[in-house]
């Protein structure tokens, strides 16, 4: 430590410049030490762990123990878990527990990553926040290991701020929410009006019920330029001698005046942007505090110097956590403005830097991440149904949980704001994809073990076909068409009772010498159907039996691109009970759609377009992984279109092929549109009323950004509605900008978007995230794929140019009809796309028999149409539901690797509709949980929990913040949420309710888990309201 004998002299010299009148109360500065540690981006997780991330926790823990006044907030938990499990010593673990208990170390957010807020689905955001497994990430790990529950967010690097996030964080029990990356012009306005702090009501239906105090970091963001002394991390490994070159010059008696001036000036500038005398001053940046001794040994004397002259300098400074800062702000008791459910999207950092390109970057990774999430969702409920009411002995539950945990980890990891966004380097993309693929393989093996018969899969006999097990993961009866690829054209499909099943066979559109087999199926909620698929000697027409009918293909010659002109003379049509689709023979393009419900024909044309991007910085701004910066309006990249119509009794497929040049043999783009020929009857409405489209896009030429543009006769006036993370819709009015207007009017579409006029609405439902915009009246365009390169040195050095040469196959479903009809169908149809039935195939030999086993006989799980089973899972947490008892357990013994508790089932229900959105489906729904779950056994106890499961729902209390609006406007009429009443619960519009379900145990399950106390014997918590959970006395 350097000498302080020279301080009086320095003080007199330095303070001459601060002799102007100061406020009576000095500005109280809360210095919050942190390190932003991306879970991927340029370097892989293991590379970052070796180079700096492990050292952050090792050196921070050491330095916090040396001085009691020091503080630190830990954010991205994936690195902490890797350090805790594989590096930390027993002594360091004890120190971490001590630092948490004394509030010198604080976990904020508490999820595995700092998740993306734009293209991530809210189901996956909840997953990464929760951590649904013993010994995995998330709130579950923090609570199980330390007994702590995060209360503050730190979403400071997500590229825009969604209105879904504050709602989720409020449901998780957070007191306050911190964001940073919002539009540069809006942030400037908010700074000048002292509007960077407000109460945010993210959901219009939940209103004040789930509001949260929100703090926007000012223009300096989360970095403290000029105050980082621990140097620059060295990749791939830290230097052997542990010597790093410091970023900032170490503090000495010769330069203390410079640092004091720098900090005081910065504080006083920033203080004018806030309404209280309390200033949050983030100290740190990316990859900081890996040598925490240098950081604190320089900052300590600086803070001491300022505090010794606080009255003259006009500020006081202290190390702090977010809890320290927000407690001070809350105690100030100011009245705050209310920000309603609008979001902060899109994000632009300047007029020419619209961060809207990443909505479509690395389309293949986005698709894989969503498929992995859907598979995990299905695997969770399938395993839960397997375990209840009685598990079978052939499957090891510990192995099963491990397979689920691996995929939980991978899906959570890819929600990082540099992962699912597609903004990472190729090697990091490979890391995400490998983790997802490995996790998916394990869950597929688990599901196969559950549903397949116990006989060996191999046989000496020649296979004669396939057996298929189809599982419906939704809690509704689903009627749909599942598609399989087979190697024979004549096929018979029978169900588990030996009855013939309606099916259709046709040549595969992707694989030569293969066939697409389409099978019509109706499956109750969380249930199975079993099918035998056998090669036969005839078709349905030849045998006059209900089997696989052979579709007939009609080929239409290529048509050259022609100038726009009225086209209605040479039309052909494809129809079902809901739509008639008209196609123009002169162009091979879509012409219009007649919708039966409204008896209206809407002109609809679809074509692929490309935006061209600049590659050379000498000529202007460039598009990259993050930013969309087109040179001009989109151009047609094709010169001719071919078409096939594959017509069958079960469905008709329209295949349109787009060729760059008239004479090209291979097409770059394709649209495959399907209409199902099913009666418009109860149960098949969702199938009839959707036009399913799959696209082929790529490989693209360099510096092209590909869109699908749908132009209609709807007069939407360039008003678009797109979703926030699949949870709620936002109205997007086209904004006129003096520059970069195309890019700044793009928005994320995580799951759905629509345009409408007074009579009709066109809905797009997506299987993965894309960018979406309405650039002209009646138009909606979706960005599907990007391939870019530029000569920016930094991008070249780190391989961040997005030279994506892949071919991608995005999927959209279209709904067209009156607003009332599409409102009723949009949510459920989106879930049908997101969670399609899972098909598990194996070879079938001549002697194979499909005999329904006990699992097939379980009663279906069925919810009312406005409710969605968001999760049914066995998380494996092994902590007591009673908080006081859990803390006592932790004091007695620091929990080691305990056995997973398989008896606790996590149930989460979501009301799909907004208040007032639909006269019937927007009504509150009362649910009897015993009746819904009777197929799993007899419910013995039900506890309502917080979103992440770590709080008793009756004892969770969040801070209340005064607002500037009258009390009667605070949403009391909308805050209908009612407590659990026995086994019945009433769920109101947009509510997400989380429960622990305890079924009456059985010996086979009890033997497979760690011993635990029965719920009835738990001691009551000190918090008021305990005991309101329902328990069966039987």
Query: Catalytic residue numbers?
Result: 157
SS (H, E, C) 968-1031: HHCCCCCCCCCCCECCEEEECCCCEEEEEEEECCCHHHHCCCCCCCCHHHCCCCCCCCCCCCEE
Which residues touch 47 (CB under 8 Å, ≥6 apart)?
235, 236
Q: How far is CA 202 from CA 15, 435, 724, 848, in A?
A: 46, 33, 10, 55
* Residue entry with tokens 């992707």: 510
Q: Which of 535, 425, 429 is nearest to 491 (CA)?
A: 535
- At 199 the three-state DSSP class reads strand
| Burial of 9 (C-beta count, 10 Å sphere; 0-12/13-18/19+) | exposed
- C-alpha 89/C-alpha 79 separation (Å) is 16
Q: Helical H runs in 861-962?
A: 883-892, 929-932
Helix orientation angle between 7-14 and 256-271, rounded to the nearest 10 degrees: 50
Strands 552-560 and 315-319: unpaired
Contacts 24+ apart (CB under 8 A), 562-566: 562/586, 562/587
* Residue entry with tokens 């394709």: 670
- C-alpha 852/C-alpha 445 separation (Å) is 20
Report whether 818 contacts 598 (CB < 8 A): yes
| Helix or strand run (H / E) with residue 763 | strand 761-766
Q: How many CB atoms lie within 10 A of CB 723?
A: 27
- C-alpha 922/C-alpha 928 separation (Å) is 19
Region class of 568: left (phi > 0), else alpha (psi between -120 and 50), else beta? alpha
What is the chain's alpha carbon radius of gyration, rounded to the nearest angstrom?
Answer: 30
For 243, what's the count of Cα atoms within 13 Å in the CB-facing half-sphere? 1
Which residues touch 1027 (CB under 8 Å, ≥6 apart)?
1020
Buried b (16+ CB within 10 A) or exposed e, 847-857: ebebeeeeeee
Report whether 66 contacts 58 (CB < 8 A): no
Helix orientation angle between 292-308 and 7-14, rounded to the nearest 10 degrees: 70
Report whether 955 contacts 1021 (CB < 8 A): yes
Report whether 310 contacts 258 (CB < 8 A): no
Biggest distance spanned by C-alpha atoms of the chain: 105
Which residues touch 643 (CB under 8 Å, ≥6 apart)?
555, 556, 583, 588, 654, 655, 656, 657
Which residues touch 635 (CB under 8 Å, ≥6 apart)?
609, 610, 611, 612
* Residue entry with tokens 């259709």: 504
- At 317 the three-state DSSP class reads strand
Q: Which of 478, 470, 376 is nearest to 865 (CA)?
A: 478
- C-alpha 446/C-alpha 398 separation (Å) is 11
Q: How many CB atoms lie within 10 A of CB 875?
A: 27
């Amino acid at each position: 430590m350097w000498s302080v004998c020279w301080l009086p002299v320095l003080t007199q010299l330095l303070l001459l410049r601060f002799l102007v009148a100061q406020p009576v109360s000095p500005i109280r500065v809360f210095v919050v030490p942190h390190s932003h540690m991306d879970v991927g981006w340029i370097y892989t997780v293991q590379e970052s762990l070796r180079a700096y991330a492990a050292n952050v926790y090792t050196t921070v823990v050491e330095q916090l123990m040396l001085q009691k006044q020091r503080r630190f907030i830990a954010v991205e938990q994936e690195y902490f878990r890797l350090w805790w499990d594989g590096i930390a010593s027993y002594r360091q673990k004890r120190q971490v527990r001590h630092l948490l208990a004394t509030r010198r170390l604080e976990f904020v957010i508490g999820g595995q990553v700092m998740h993306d807020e734009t293209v991530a689905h809210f189901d996956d955001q909840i997953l990464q926040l929760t951590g649904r497994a013993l010994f995995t990430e998330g709130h579950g790990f923090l609570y199980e290991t330390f007994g702590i529950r995060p209360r503050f967010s730190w979403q400071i690097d997500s590229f825009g701020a969604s209105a879904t996030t504050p709602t989720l964080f409020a449901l998780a029990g957070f007191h306050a929410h911190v964001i940073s990356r919002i539009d540069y012009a809006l942030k400037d306005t908010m700074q000048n009006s002292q509007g960077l702090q407000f109460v945010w009501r993210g959901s219009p239906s939940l209103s004040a019920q789930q509001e949260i105090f929100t703090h926007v970091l000012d223009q300096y963001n989360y970095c403290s330029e000029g105050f980082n002394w621990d140097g620059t991390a060295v990749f791939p490994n830290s230097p052997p001698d542990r010597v790093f070159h410091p970023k900032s010059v170490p503090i000495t008696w010769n330069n203390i005046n410079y640092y004091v001036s720098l900090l005081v000036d910065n504080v006083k500038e920033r203080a004018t942007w806030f309404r209280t005398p309390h200033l949050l001053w983030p100290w740190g940046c990316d990859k900081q505090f890996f040598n925490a001794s240098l950081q604190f040994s320089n900052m300590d004397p600086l803070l001491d110097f300022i505090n010794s002259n606080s009255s003259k300098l006009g500020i006081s400074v202290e190390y702090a956590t977010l809890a320290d800062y927000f407690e001070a702000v809350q105690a100030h008791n100011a009245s705050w403005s209310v920000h309603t459910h609008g979001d902060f999207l899109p994000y632009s950092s300047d007029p020419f830097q619209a961060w809207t390109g990443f909505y479509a970057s690395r389309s293949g990774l986005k698709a894989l991440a969503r498929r992995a999430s859907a598979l995990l969702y299905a695997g969770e409920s399938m395993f839960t149904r397997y375990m209840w009411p009685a598990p079978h002995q052939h499957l090891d539950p510990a192995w099963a949980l491990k397979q689920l945990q691996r995929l939980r980890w991978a899906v959570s990891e890819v929600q990082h704001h540099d992962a699912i966004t597609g903004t990472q380097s190729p090697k990091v993309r490979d890391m995400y994809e490998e983790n997802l693929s490995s996790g998916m393989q394990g869950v597929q093996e688990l599901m196969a073990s559950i549903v397949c018969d116990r006989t060996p899969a191999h046989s000496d006999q020649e296979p004669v076909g396939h057996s298929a097990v189809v599982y419906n993961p939704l809690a509704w009866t689903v009627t749909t068409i599942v598609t399989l690829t087979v190697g024979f054209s004549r096929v018979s499909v029978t169900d588990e009772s030996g009855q013939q099943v309606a099916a259709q066979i046709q040549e595969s559109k992707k694989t030569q010498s293969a066939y697409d087999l389409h099978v019509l199926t109706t499956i109750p909620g969380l249930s199975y159907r079993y099918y035998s698929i056998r090669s036969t000697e005839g078709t349905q027409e030849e045998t006059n039996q209900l089997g696989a009918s052979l579709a007939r293909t009609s080929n239409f010659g290529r048509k050259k691109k022609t100038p726009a002109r009225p086209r209605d003379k040479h039309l052909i049509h494809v129809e079902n009970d809901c739509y008639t689709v008209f196609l123009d023979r002169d162009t091979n393009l879509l012409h219009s759609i007649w919708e039966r419900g409204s008896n209206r024909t809407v002109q609809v044309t679809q074509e692929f377009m490309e935006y061209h991007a600049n590659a050379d910085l000498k000529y202007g701004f460039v598009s990259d992984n993050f930013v969309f910066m087109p040179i001009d309006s989109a151009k047609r990249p094709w010169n001719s279109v071919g078409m096939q119509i594959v017509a069958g009794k079960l469905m008709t497929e329209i295949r349109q092929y787009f060729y760059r040049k008239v004479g090209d043999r291979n097409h770059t783009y394709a649209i495959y549109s399907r209409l199902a020929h099913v009666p418009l009857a109860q149960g098949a409405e969702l199938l009839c009323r959707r036009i399913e489209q799959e696209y082929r896009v790529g490989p693209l030429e360099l510096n092209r950004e590909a869109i699908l543009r749908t132009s209609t006769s709807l007069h939407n006036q360039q008003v678009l509605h797109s979703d926030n993370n699949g949870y709620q819709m936002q109205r997007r009015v086209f904004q006129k900008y003096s520059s970069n207007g195309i890019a700044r009017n793009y928005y994320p579409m995580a799951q759905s978007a629509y345009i409408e006029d007074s009579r009709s609405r066109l809905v797009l439902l997506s299987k993965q995230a894309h960018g979406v915009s309405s650039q002209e009246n009646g138009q909606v365009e979706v960005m599907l794929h990007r391939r870019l390169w530029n000569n920016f040195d930094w991008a070249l050095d780190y391989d961040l140019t997005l030279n994506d040469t892949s071919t991608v196959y995005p999927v959209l479903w279209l709904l067209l009809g009156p607003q009332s009809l599409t409102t009723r169908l949009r949510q459920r149809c989106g879930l049908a796309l997101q969670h399609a039935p899972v098909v598990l195939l194996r070879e079938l030999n001549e002697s194979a028999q499909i005999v329904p086993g006990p699992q097939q006989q379980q009663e279906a799980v069925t919810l009312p149409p406005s409710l969605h089973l968001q999760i049914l899972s066995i998380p494996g947490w092994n902590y007591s539901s009673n908080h006081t008892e859990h803390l006592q357990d932790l004091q007695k013994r620091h929990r080691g690797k305990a056995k997973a508790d398989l008896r606790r089932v996590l149930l989460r229900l979501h009301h799909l509709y907004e208040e007032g959105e639909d006269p019937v489906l927007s009504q509150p729904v009362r649910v009897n949980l015993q009746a819904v779950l009777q197929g799993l056994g007899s419910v013995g106890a039900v506890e309502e929990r917080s979103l992440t499961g770590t709080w008793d729902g009756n004892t969770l209390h969040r801070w209340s913040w005064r607002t500037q609006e009258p009390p009667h406007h605070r949403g009391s009429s909308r805050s209908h949420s009612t407590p659990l009443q026995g086994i019945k619960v009433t769920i109101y519009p947009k509510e997400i309710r989380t429960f622990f379900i305890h079924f009456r145990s059985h010996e086979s399950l009890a033997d497979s888990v760690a011993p635990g106390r029965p719920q009835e014997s738990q001691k009551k918590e000190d918090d008021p309201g305990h005991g309101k959970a329902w328990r069966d006395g039987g």
